[in-house]
Amino acid sequence: MGDFLKKVFAFISVLFFCLLLGEVVLRMMGYKPGKISYSQWTKEVPQLSNRYGFAADSNGIFKVDALATHWIDSVIQIHKHDQRYKDDRNIADSLVFEVYSLGYESLNLMHAKIKNPLTSLYQKIKNENSDNDLHRAIQNYIEHPVNSDGFRSIEFRPCNKAKKKLLLIGDSFTWGHSATNITNSFADILLAKEYAVYNAGISGAEPAQYAAIINKYVPLLHPDVVVVNFYLGNDVMYFDRKVAPYKPIFYATNAGNLIACPYTTYFQDGKAAYDFMLKTSYLSHENWFKTICAQTSITTLSWMVLRKFGFAWDTPLAYKDYYQQELSREQQEPTANQLMKTAEEVCKANNCRFVLAIIPERKGSGLSKVKDYKNLFPQQNYFYPASLTTSDYRSDDGHFNDEGEKTYANFLLPLLEKNN
């Protein structure tokens, strides 16, 4: 009996040591007891503060706000003739980084510190005295990278010297989020080929935004081609999220960009969105099992495994009514189906061609397909870039790298030249 007890004690001791070691390792890896949701885009902060740079207008269209545009232009103006400027992107802590960094992105191109097709074209045209309205628009865009409508684009005005007029619509991919210099983005590659690229891509945008932009700008611009760059990673939603006057897509804060409307109802402000993010990131204590699981990183991770296989679910007590209301509005088809059909009709009514171009999501060792999503575009004509591979994406944030920008631009080019 004594030997048996010794073996039991030894087993328990080893098990305890292994669990303790596992707990230490998990915490060193960043796992917290009770935390069930992690995101590279958001974080917890001691005190929430706002970041400025984006705003929604009276039509609910999300864009760069006027104050940020003025700040960007002032940075460029100060250093326009000074190649010894310091590329310091940490001096505007109250502004959204990807907005205020546009000033330095343009300066680096203007002073030829980066090499790409748009750099070469800018150097060629900046001193020319011609009546080429597209060249003048491109020069103005480099020196004022946000246009008067709040988009990272040439001005939304006619360009008669262009090959074709293109209205590009999309999210951070179309904005050019992760290009090493933002003018390496596929939108600017097309611009350098002397298409008039009206780039209405904006970070965080989704199909309701795409439709709102088409409804407003297609009748004004009369482009030859409208290209919706549809990202499978987050443009597929089964909730009817509508744009609303002055309601942003996200609240920019020091905790990250917090989604303003996760389902169909907008949060009142950034604080409400942060509280939602925080509470839904941790396991609730509504019963003894969840309370126990929330005590250590190991038990929390075990609960997360159960959730992955459908054996567990958590709804924070403070949001039970919210979830019940919102989830009851889930639809069988993605809202993009009807929105893109309507967008195509608007384009046809204004005699311009509509192109629905798919941007796949990088998922592990492959790329997502349209067929991976329930009832997505069963009767809609779309174009899928078969030439893209996982090597065209950044591993840290899932956006295109510079090669991916080129590959996607080359995918679009033959679509732009079709006549019907």
CB 274 within 8 A of CB 88: no
| Whether pTM exceeds 0.85 | yes
Interval 119-133 mean pLDDT: 87
Output the six-digit token pair for 37. 């949701």
Please state whether 310 falls in left (phi above 0), alpha (psi between -120 and 50) or beta.
Answer: left
- Tell me the per-residue pLDDT of 1-36, one tens digit each, with 9 for 90 and over: 577 787 788 888 888 888 889 889 999 998 999 999
Number of H helices and number of E strands within the chain? Answer: 15, 10
User: Residue 413 — pLDDT band, cuts 50, 70, 90?
Assistant: very high
Instruction: Answer yes or no: is pLDDT of 91 > 70.
Output: no
Q: What is the mean pLDDT of the chain?
A: 93
**For the chain, how far is it from start to end, CA to CA, in angstroms?**
87
Q: Which of 160, 188, 193, 165 is nearest to 176 (CA)?
A: 188
All structural domains of the chain: 54-239+333-417 (3.40.50.1110), 265-281+289-327 (no CATH)
CB 385 within 8 A of CB 368: no
Instruction: Enumerate the H helices of 232-382 as residue ranges.
Output: 270-279, 288-293, 297-308, 320-327, 336-349
What's the CA gap between 334 and 346, in Å, rounded?
Answer: 20
Interval 136-164 mean pLDDT: 95
- Tell me the per-residue pLDDT of 375-408, one tens digit each, with 9 for 90 and over: 999 999 999 999 999 999 999 999 999 999 999 9
Q: Is 169 exposed, middle or buried (0-12, 13-18, 19+ CB in 10 A)?
A: buried
